[in-house]
Amino acid sequence: MSSQDQSGDGSSDTPEGIDLAEGVDHQVAMVMDLNKCIGCQTCTIACKTNWTEGGGRDYMYWNNVETKPGSGYPRDWEEMGGGWQSEEHSERSPGELPDEEEYGRPWEFNHDAIFYEGSDEPLRPMDQAEWGPNWDEDEGAGEYPNSYYFYLPRICNHCTHPSCVEACPRSALYKREEDGIVLVDQDRCRGYRYCVEGCPYKKVYYNAMTKKSEKCIFCYPRIEGEGPEGEVRAPSCAEDCPPQLRMVGFLDDEDGPIYKLVEEYEVAVRLHPEYRTEPNVYYIPPFAPPQHSEGGESLDAERIPRNYLEELFGPAVNEALNTIERERNKVQRGEESEVMELLTRNREDKYRLEVFDDG
């Protein structure tokens, strides 16, 4: 797959260094600043109420927020395989299917007893729960006084080289030409679940009632302006986020914040780049206070170990963190920094989705 000739004369309008999938005009992307995520799950509920209420979707969280370090959702998804074996994207890595217990069964609560039978017992699951999404929330790692954790929101990455697309023998999964969003053609899908197995991020789900695969659709009806007033809007997980940690736009929009954070300043990094799917969801890596002695003195040691962040985001996370630290120091000296402007201001162009409408 390669960048596309979009001018019709043999030249390419794609900015240098941007790899667009074959047949895709522009690639929509998202940047999430992990330093702003408070783990409130508003994005999760926004997605759940819009797309996955009932009808075999009870266990699905197209958007979830998990605590890191932690097992995530589904449990231990990082150990289940998938993706590609090489940069040439010619051979997929084998993957596993998560079972129902690894997703966590939907819980049944004692609502009837409390609301209709007059019981004064507290609200609780009716069965003994052993696992569920975010079961290990806020546990993290490390020891007092230097324990640590951070929140990691996850959606489908709408990858440039999605292994789920390649895995499907029915060609039911595909990337949209206009924006690179990965979708499932429900008419073609037969529920073989090779896509679930092939996705290394485990962001494709099987609906046992419809016998079809389903996944995050990047709220494409919203970005197409299909609302009551025809207004183009960002995905609900982004718009409903209280700390506004997500930026949404196009990777190949050189004037937008996505391009600047990802390509120009290289402070936004991919999750598990070693899977080689080239995700189009990026993260500003988390900072934390330095370690402290039991007496409260600051130590010259980082709270979140760099080697752990490398496990998540690859070696590029080191230069990303170094760049952000240099830019923060510039601001503290009274100098200007576009990086910090991009990361700290509630910008009008944080949802830049109509830039290519006339192209």
Q: How far is CA 326 from the centre of its chain?
A: 26
Identify whether the C-beta of residue 269 lies closer than 8 Å to the C-beta of residue 282: yes
CB atoms within 10 A of CB 321: 21
SS3 338: helix
CATH of domain 28-350: 3.30.70.20
Each domain of the chain, given as residue ranges in start order, spans: 28-350
- Phi, psi angle pair for 9, to nearest 5°: -120, 20
The pTM (predicted TM-score) of the whole model is: 0.93
Reported as type and span, the H/E element at residue 284 is: strand 281-284
pLDDT tens over the chain, length 359 residues = 344 444 444 445 788 889 999 999 999 999 999 999 999 999 999 999 999 988 999 999 999 999 999 999 999 999 999 999 999 999 999 999 999 999 998 888 999 999 999 999 999 888 888 899 999 999 999 999 999 999 999 999 999 999 999 999 999 999 999 999 999 999 999 999 999 999 999 999 999 999 999 999 999 999 999 877 889 999 999 999 999 999 999 999 999 999 999 999 999 999 999 999 999 999 999 999 999 998 889 999 999 999 999 999 999 999 999 999 999 999 999 999 999 999 998 888 999 999 997 54
Q: Give which of 152, 164, 141, 139 is closest to 271, Cα–Cα.
A: 152
Q: Is 201 exposed, middle or buried (0-12, 13-18, 19+ CB in 10 A)?
A: buried
DSSP string for 230-250: ------HHHHT-TT--EEEEE
